[in-house]
């Protein structure tokens, strides 16, 4: 039995569309076992217990790359703390978990870089799968079908507050509202802020994060799909957030606060209650480890 833990991720981080992402201390755990025949699922909703299951598809992708014909497979979901379709990388945990589980069955045939290439091929972009696999804050690009990345040495002093609505928002719907083209002005706006974002996390000058979090590519378009977005976003800054942005495709809003701030979450909970918004609030920290083998493996 192989047991794998994969962290949640928060992608885009404001201006870093499809290229910036960070791993957080919220996890899904899976276990995998090669069996004599068939495909079995445990702890997974019935609607996903078939060959179109994204975990199985990722594992098969890895096995096919290795030219390995598996006899049978049992896939179990032990823990699902990462909410589905909320902008916290739930699908990436499945893709990365499946690839890593398959690679362990293969005896670690592939390196992390090779697994990342497979994950990007499946997902289509690296902003979630890279930090899910590698941990930390990752800058990643795809050029000529090859992924290039680097991890940012994030300075201490902050924590992340996930403000999670009680409804799902599919990535497909969130992408459908985006413009097909952007202006040079908006391009410069985002490039400069994405660069500042990386600099802030590297230097620890978190007083600049509020400027770096601004975006002209996607937030303004996607926020219209999220009831209460403006109210929660503005209140987060009013309560002292250092930065605030739409996590991934949404609908989760991510606030960055000082690690010593013990009032923010409770004050925000009071605000949400008054507004009648049934959203969850989770205080999280940076996960620097990425995907971990908890049991079995090589």
CA distances from 138 to 4, 132, 205, 249, 287 (A): 21, 9, 18, 17, 12
Span 106-117, mean pLDDT?
96
Instruction: Report phi then psi at 239, rounded to 5.
Output: -85, 0
Cis-peptide into 251, omega within 30 deg: yes
What is the distance between the alpha carbons of residues 82 and 282, in angstroms, rounded to a whole number? 11
Q: If we measure between CA atoms, which residue out of 294, 288, 293 comes closest to residue 131?
A: 288
Binding-site entries: 83-93
Give the chain's domains with CATH numbers. 2-152+287-295 (3.30.230.10), 158-284 (3.30.70.890)
Tell me: pLDDT of 98 over 90: yes
Question: To the nearest whole number, what is the mean pLDDT of the chain?
Answer: 95
pLDDT digits (tens, 9 = 90+) for 214-272: 999 999 999 989 999 999 999 999 999 999 999 999 999 999 999 999 999 999 999 99
pLDDT one-digit tens code per residue, 154-208: 999 999 999 999 988 888 888 899 999 999 999 999 999 999 999 999 999 999 9
* Residue list, annotated binding site for ATP: 83-93
Q: Which of 95-104, 136-145, 170-179, 264-273 has the lowest mean pLDDT?
A: 170-179
State the first-to-last Cα distance of the chain, in angstroms, to the nearest integer.
11
Round to whole Å and give the CA distance between 8 and 86. Answer: 11
Under a CB-based contact definition with an 8 Å cutoff, are residues 116 and 149 in contact? yes
Distance CA 205, CA 93 (A): 30
Reported pTM: 0.94
Tokens of 229: 């977005």
């Amino acid at each position: 039995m192989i047991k794998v833990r994969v962290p949640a991720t928060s992608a885009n981080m404001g201006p870093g569309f499809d290229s910036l992402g960070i791993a957080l201390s919220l996890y899904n755990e899976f276990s995998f076992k090669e069996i004599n025949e068939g495909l079995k699922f445990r702890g997974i909703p019935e609607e996903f217990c078939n060959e179109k299951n994204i975990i199985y598809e990722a594992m098969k992708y890895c096995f096919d790359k290795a030219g390995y014909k598996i006899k049978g497979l049992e896939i179990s979901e032990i823990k699902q703390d990462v909410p589905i379709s909320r902008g916290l990388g739930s699908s990436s945990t499945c893709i990365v978990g499946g690839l890593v589980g398959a690679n362990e069955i293969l005896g670690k045939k592939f390196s992390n870089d090779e697994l990342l290439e497979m994950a990007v091929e499946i997902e289509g972009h690296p902003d979630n799968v890279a930090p899910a696999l590698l941990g930390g804050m990752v800058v990643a690009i795809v050029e000529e079908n090859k992924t290039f990345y680097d991890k940012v040495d994030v300075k201490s002093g902050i924590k992340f507050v996930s403000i999670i609505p009680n409804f799902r928002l599919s990535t497909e719907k969130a992408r459908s509202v985006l413009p097909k083209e952007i202006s040079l002005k908006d391009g410069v706006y985002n490039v400069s802020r994405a660069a500042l974002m990386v600099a802030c996390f590297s230097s620890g000058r978190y007083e600049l994060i509020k400027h770096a979090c601004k975006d002209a590519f996607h937030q303004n378009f996607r926020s219209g799909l999220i009831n209460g977005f403006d109210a929660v976003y503005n209140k987060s800054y009013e309560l002292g957030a250092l930065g605030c942005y739409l996590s991934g495709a949404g609908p989760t809003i991510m606030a960055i606060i000082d690690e010593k701030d013990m009032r923010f979450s409770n004050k925000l909970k009071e605000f949400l209650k008054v507004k009648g918004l049934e959203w969850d609030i989770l205080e999280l920290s940076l996960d620097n480890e990425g995907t971990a083998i908890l049991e079995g493996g090589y």
